[in-house]
Amino acid sequence: MAETPYSTVFATARTQTPLVHHITNYVTVNDCANITICAGGAPVMAHAPDEVEEMVQYAGALVLNIGTLDQAQIESMLLVGKAAGRQDIPIILDPVGAGATTLRTDTARKLMAELPISVLKGNAGEIGVLAGVDARVRGVDSGGLSGDPVSIAREYAERSDMIVVMSGVTDIISDGKQVLLVENGHPLMGTISGTGCMAASVTGVFAASGKDLVTTSAAALATFGLAGERAATFAKGPGSFKVSLFDAMASLTPDDLAQGARIRSV
């Protein structure tokens, strides 16, 4: 199978095993650690303000997830994000539940204002709220948004100078100029908690494995979606699907991605 830019990123991750530093939520922290390993990376989940600046120096990427937010976590995110910025380490922000409460929305905006966020990865509602369009978030789930998602993602990426990744049935990735659509995935991915958080972790692994963050983000979402498709063929329901998801991710190869990725430019 001929290599593609996406399979090349995946092959690099498998070869280099980049360290991905997470400050994430306690609901899905173990899932994020395991999917990082299965994708080819090495996770560290350090969150204490006394060590985050020291720890991140070893990382190839930093993933920040505000799913179970508190003030101590915000302090650590600001410390580690500034340290990562000084070392040009890509930062992936998952603004879980932005739009549902003032704390989450304000924190996401504060992190984007004070840190050099490389990739903003959220669902349609979260991205829409932060982009300033009519959007709805219920708890940590998207309630949808008004307007064309592709245009919203592209315009927000252009004015914010970030890669915007809007997850959904079709994932949208844009840097403000190009837009890639990823059509891999399976409905069972929406039946368990944590798939969005895990997708951010895979995005971190791949961001540490290539320089073009549009390409690495699309490769990450396609790989995770393809793993979901394969896991669904063995699953009897949400529980067995979750186990199969880790197995499928661990067994995927760059050749599988080259053949199975459904990524198109618009």
pLDDT at 135 over 90: no
pLDDT in tens, 75-111: 999 999 999 999 999 999 999 989 889 999 999 999 9
Average pLDDT over residues 121-134: 88
Structural domain of 70: 5-265
CA angle 121, 123, 128 (to 5 degrees): 95
> Of all residues in the chain, what percent carry a pLDDT higher than 90?
89
Residue 145 pLDDT grade (very low, low, confident, very high; cuts 50, 70, 90)? low
Average pLDDT over residues 9-20: 97
- pLDDT number for residue 142: 56
Mean per-residue pLDDT of the chain: 94
Closest CA to 209 of 90, 116, 122: 90
- CB 123 within 8 Å of CB 141: yes
- pLDDT number for residue 148: 87
pLDDT at 136 over 70: no
pLDDT at 146 over 90: no
Helices 29-39 and 213-232 cross at an angle (nearest 10°) of: 100
- CB 229 within 8 Å of CB 186: yes
Which of 72-81, 139-148, 199-208 shows the lowest mean pLDDT across its residues? 139-148
End-to-end CA distance of the chain, in Å?
A: 25
As for how many domains the chain has, the answer is: 1
Check which CATH number belongs to the domain holding 153 and give it.
3.40.1190.20
- pLDDT number for residue 258: 97
